Amino acid sequence: MPALFGYLRLAATVLRGRLTQARRNGEAGYTTETVVVIALLVALAIAAVAIITAKVLAKANSIQLG
């Protein structure tokens, strides 16, 4: 799970940087709402991958080999 928070921090940092660039250039870039929606979708996708990975690993570890 700590890796998930690292990815979320990285995504937030990248989005903040892009938002700052968009504010400097008034005609180019995304609106704030678009950036927020994209950030939420990215966070949900990362969370979904983390949950699926955890479940698959738990199931794989529960298999008896002997």
Report yes or no on 66 lying in a domain. no
Tally of CB atoms within 10 A around 22: 17
Q: What range defines the domain where residue 13 resides?
A: 2-61
Residue 31, SS3?
Answer: coil
Q: How many domains does the chain have?
A: 1
Instruction: Say if 22 falls within a structural domain.
Output: yes
Q: Is the pLDDT of residue 60 over 80?
A: yes
**pLDDT of the residue at 30:** 64
Give me the chain's average pLDDT, please. 85
CA distance 11 to 33: 16
0.75 surpassed by pTM: no
The whole-angstrom distance between residue 18's C-alpha and the CA centroid of its chain comes to: 15
Q: Within a domain: residue 41?
A: yes
At 29 the pLDDT is: 57
Using the predicted structure, report yes or no on whether residue 45 has a pLDDT greater than 90: yes
Model pLDDT, residue 56: 95
The residues near 47 (Cβ < 8 Å, ≥ 6 apart) are 4
Backbone angles phi, psi at 33, to 5 degrees: -60, -40
